[in-house]
Amino acid sequence: MLNHYLILGLTPGATDQEIKNRFLDLVKKYPPEKEARMFRQINGAYEALKDHRRRIKAKMFHGMSILDIEAALLELAAALPVKKKRATFKDLVKFSANSRS
């Protein structure tokens, strides 16, 4: 369920109106004629979150297996743009320190 919020760019505390407004903004940005794959993801996320009752039902009965979680993470990774950044020496030292612990 968290991936639905991330696809729409919202926090889990979003209201029905905020979810609807964000959905409409994203549909304008990613129309189905040009961005069919992204539109399907946005539409699926909206359908899962569009009213309070659906959000509660999903929280209560949305038991996910390991394979479901892996698929959701892959879907999320594909939905979010990758921002490439050159690693600095400071980043490398920090990574090295974290990998030792």
pLDDT at residue number 1: 61
> Which residue is it, tokens 């209201």?
15
What is the block-wise mean pLDDT of the chain (101 residues), using blocks of 10 residues?
Answer: 84 90 94 91 91 76 63 73 78 79 59
Task: At 65, list the tokens.
Answer: 């297996």
Domain positions in the chain: 2-100
pLDDT value for 87: 81
The CA dihedral of 26, 15, 72, 82, to the nearest 10 degrees, is 50
Please indicate, yes or no, whether the overall pTM of this predicted structure exceeds 0.75: no
Q: Which fold has domain 2-100?
A: Helix Hairpins (1.10.287)
d(CA 72, CA 57): 18
How far is residue 82's CA from residue 47's CA, in Å, rounded to a whole number?
25
